Amino acid sequence: MSERADLQGRHIVLGLSGGIACYKSAELVRLLTKAGATVQVVMTEAAEAFITPVTMQALSGRKVYTSQWDAREANNMPHINLGREADAIVVAPASADFIAKLAQGRADELLSLMCLARPREACPLIVVPAMNREMWSHPATQRNVAQLVSDGASVFGPGSGDQACGEVGDGRMLEPEEILADLIAFFQPKQLQGRRLLITAGPTFEPIDPVRGITNHSSGKMGFAIARAAAERGAQVTLVAGPVHLSTPRGVQRIDVMTAQQMFDTVLPLAAQHEVFIATAAVADWRPATLAEHKIKKDGKKLAPSFELTENPDILAAVASLAVPPYCVGFAAESEHLLEHARAKLQRKRVPLIVGNLGPATFGKDDNALLLVDAEHARPLPADGTSADKLTLARELMAELARRLPARR
């Protein structure tokens, strides 16, 4: 699969203040450019003690700015020009000293000058803190961060864990992959701001004995993509996941379950607390009526063991039948006659929207093609009837969902 160009056409000014986390900024530049962005690096004198401008120039493909007196600008005003060209200024790492400088409006070198002189409506400021845990928790730093947020800046992180000084705690800079994900989300439209979404994803696993079980080929990728796309658009997302090996999307609360009954028992109490329920999970329709205490072994007679099956609870129908149900979106993974089966499921479950797809063609894969079915219409997603990567589809689906949801009271 080709690299996603989620930042295509974006121009990012990446500012580095002094700190050992500057080594992460090199990887961040690489990730930003792979995502389609152009990157202009600006470094403080302290940052140059940790990583060289040569390194950052090689990775960004642009000459690095380090001085407010840089004569390469025709008007000798890099602090003005660089901010006018940027879609965002990202300071990563942002040291305690640099955060204090920003909070106080001090501007004695190029990076702080540029942050102060940027057109605030057109060029947002994003600060990614990196410092020792005691420095981060100090009341002065917390006051300064609060002042920055009050002044309109956004703060990514910090993370928690091992620090260069040997201590452990809050204050370390987010990993480059986390910063990239947060920056991509930052630019997504916030059509679902404050909405509460409950999403199920992945397969379920119904044990036969302590070793074997009944499951399916669902990878959970579509459900996880929807959770990410919803969170990017400002939603508060709870993701109930069957047994999958996928990373939790940024900003998403995840609850892991194994069986259909566990998923049912988890979803039902939560459903009334959410405005939207999206049933993406491929839930097993049946489970063994009894669980063998020990592994079922061959008996030498070449006879397959038999066991009775019992029906699992219908999660989507149960949520749709609540006294005050959330807006319910069901998924129909079919092997044939997609529209016919999706329409039947829409009527049977009594939900406003069914998203159909051909399961064998998409399970485990990164691409998909969807069919949106409501009481009156059916239309493909993508609109041209081809396939697209699952995150792109998830973002389009969330945009469609935002249009369909009733206005909040």
Q: Which residue has the higher pLDDT, 375 or 398?
A: 398
Confidence of residue 409 (pLDDT cuts 50, 70, 90): low
Residue 255 above 70 pLDDT? yes
Helix (H, G, I), strand (E, B) or coil at 75: coil
Residue 336 CA neighbour count, 13 Å, CB half: 0
pTM of the full predicted structure? Answer: 0.89
Pairing of strands 378-381, 286-288: unpaired
The reply to whether 75 and 154 lie within a common domain is yes
In terms of domains, do 149 and 209 share one? Answer: no
Distance CA 212, CA 271 (A): 31
Percent of the chain with pLDDT over 70: 97
pLDDT higher at 216 or 28? 28
Per the residue annotation, which of 115, 123, 165, 328 is the catalytic one?
A: 165
Q: Which of 122, 155, 187 is the last residue of a domain?
A: 187
Whether 339 is covered by a domain: the verdict is yes
User: Could you tell me if residue 379 is inside a domain?
Assistant: yes
- Cβ(50)–Cβ(17) below 8 Å: no
Calculate mean pLDDT across residues 117-121. 94
- For residue 298, name the pLDDT band (cuts at 50, 70, 90): confident
| Confidence class for position 360, pLDDT limits 50, 70, 90 | low
Domain assignment of residue 5, yes or no? no
pLDDT of residue 296: 79
What is the CATH number for 375?
3.40.50.10300
Strand bridging mode 196-201 / 213-214: unpaired
Residue 171 zone, left/alpha/beta (φ > 0; ψ -120 to 50; rest): left
Say yes or no to pLDDT of 408 above 80. no
Q: What pLDDT shows up at residue 218?
A: 87
Question: Distance (Å, rounded) from C-alpha 42 to C-alpha 64?
Answer: 6
Question: Each residue of 147-192: pLDDT tens digit?
Answer: 999 999 999 999 999 888 888 999 999 999 999 999 999 999 999 9
The number of folded domains in the chain is: 2
Residue 4 lies inside a defined structural domain of this protein: no
Closest C-alpha to 387, from 400, 407, 368: 368
Long-range contacts of 249-257 (CB under 8 A, 24+ apart): 249/181, 249/224, 250/178, 250/181, 250/182, 250/185, 251/185, 252/227, 252/228, 257/204
Q: Does 254 lie in the same domain as 128?
A: no
Q: For position 235, what pLDDT does the model report?
A: 97
Query: Residue 63 above 70 pLDDT?
Result: yes
Residue 201's alpha-carbon distances to 42, 125, 128, 238, 340, in angstroms, are 42, 35, 31, 11, 23
Residue that finishes a domain, picked among 187, 208, 242? 187
> Does residue 364 carry a pLDDT above 80?
no
Q: Are residues 306 and 353 in the same domain?
A: yes
Is position 165 annotated as part of the catalytic site?
yes
One domain for residues 205 and 181? no
Return the pLDDT at 99. 97
- 348 and 282 inside one domain: yes
Residue 2 pLDDT: 44
Burial-class residue 29 by CB neighbours within 10 Å (0-12, 13-18, 19+): buried
Of the residues 145, 164, 187, the one at which a domain ends: 187
Domain match, 305 and 173 both? no
Contact yes or no for 198/238 (Cβ under 8 A): yes
Establish if 58 belongs to a structural domain: yes
Is 109 within the bounds of a domain?
yes
The pLDDT assigned to 359 comes to 63
Residue 362 has pLDDT above 80, yes or no: no
State how far the Cα of 29 lies from the Cα of 25, in Å rounded to an integer.
6
Give the C-alpha separation, 74 to 78, whole Å. Answer: 9
Within this chain, do residues 200 and 172 fall inside the same structural domain, yes or no? no
- Do residues 175 and 262 both lie within one domain? no
Beta bridge partners of 41: 14
115 and 96 inside one domain:
yes
Q: Are residues 213 and 317 in the same domain?
A: yes
Residue 251 maps to a domain: yes
Task: Give the lowest-confidence range in 24-28, 46-50, 313-317, 359-363.
Answer: 359-363
**Does residue 235 lie in a domain region?**
yes
Q: In this structure, which amino acid lies at residue 156?
A: F
Range of the domain at 113: 11-187
Q: Do 285 and 245 share a structural domain?
A: yes
Look at residue 299 and tell me whether its pLDDT is greater than 80.
no
Q: Answer whether residue 31 shows pLDDT above 70.
A: yes
3-class DSSP assignment, residue 241: strand
Supply the CATH number for residue 71's domain: 3.40.50.1950
